[in-house]
Amino acid sequence: MSRRTSPVIPGFGLTLGYTLVYLSLLVLIPLGAMFVHAAQLTWDQFWAIVSSPRVLAALKLSFGTALLAAVINGVIGTLLAWVLVRYTFPGRKIIEAMIDLPFALPTAVAGIALTALYAPGGLVGQFATALGFKIAYTPLGITLALTFVTLPFVVRTIQPVLADIPREVEEAAACLGAKPLQVARHVLLPALLPAWLTGFALAFARGVGEYGSVIFIAGNMPMKTEILPLLIMVQLDQYNYAGATAIGVLMLVVSFILLLLINLLQRRISRS
């Protein structure tokens, strides 16, 4: 006769019900409505919208700059997390607060500040202009804005994992003759890689959908600096709801595939 083991804190059915209702109202129903609305288009109409040169250019720009910003933050964020965890120095708390600033600062304010700083007549942009290149109103400016808003995801994901790694493990490896690069490769990297991939995925996902901090510094030139979220807004302003939902479905499908691949890679690394 089998006995059913009760959990320490009961209420699984009730909490699961609340969870499913909450997720349905906030995620599943809105996304399902978008797919239902896009299904009103024929396949030829849908393909004509998503394969237009303007949409493909925006798709390449949005995902390319988000990927580049996530890679940059994967490197810089790891270094910042290492410094904050392993060293104590004056001003450490200030740097901690500055890393969280993109979470608290409205993205539109960040976009205006970055544009004023890196525009051709800005404090930094004028020096770039003198050297013969532009930062604002180019893909470089978009990448810079995305790097700013996605930095905390990488730092805050890696920081607690790095803090949980005992220093005695590194010291033991060094005592056994391992060089610093060998310690980093065989001791630190296996422990940090799953967290790094999580932070990378979060930064990438946020960068793909970012709007407020990008529209000011991008310049919004079709085929050059027009991102997908802005293109969706343009379609909505023109009352082209079918075109907006088609682009939204394309963006959702591509994002889901890329995040699924990252999660599968993370799971494979965690099991190895």
Please name the residues in contact with 73: beta carbons below 8 A apart, sequence gap of 6 or more: 147, 150, 151, 153, 154, 199, 200, 203
Mean pLDDT across 205-212: 90
Task: Specify the pTM.
Answer: 0.86
Give, for 46, the enclosing helix (H) or strand (E). helix 43-50
- 225-247: pLDDT as tens digits: 999 999 999 888 888 888 899 99
- pLDDT for res 3: 54
- pLDDT for res 9: 61
- pLDDT for res 77: 93
The C-alpha torsion from 108 through 114 and 118 to 119, rounded to 10°, is 20
- pLDDT for res 1: 47
Q: Is the model more confident about 230 or about 9?
A: 230
Q: State percent of the chain over pLDDT 70.
A: 96
- pLDDT for res 172: 80
- pLDDT for res 178: 77
Q: By mean pLDDT, which of 131-140, 146-155, 259-268 is the weakest?
A: 259-268
- 87-121: pLDDT as tens digits: 888 988 899 888 988 888 888 888 999 999 999 88
- 145-175: pLDDT as tens digits: 999 999 999 999 999 998 888 777 777 877 8
Q: Please say whether the beta carbons of 168 and 142 come within 8 A.
A: no
Query: What is the DSSP secondary structure assignment for residue 135, as one 8-state letter?
Result: S
Give 265's Cβ-side CA count (13 Å radius): 14
Q: How far apart are CA 59 and CA 57, in angstroms?
A: 5
Q: How confident is the model at residue 203 (pLDDT cuts 50, 70, 90)?
A: very high
- pLDDT for res 154: 93
Q: How confident is the model at residue 80 (pLDDT cuts 50, 70, 90)?
A: very high
Average model confidence (pLDDT) across the chain? 87
- pLDDT for res 5: 55
Mean pLDDT across 71-90: 91
Cα–Cα distances in Å, from 35 out to 52, 60, 174, 186? 20, 22, 56, 46
- pLDDT for res 24: 87
Q: How confident is the model at residue 67 (pLDDT cuts 50, 70, 90)?
A: very high
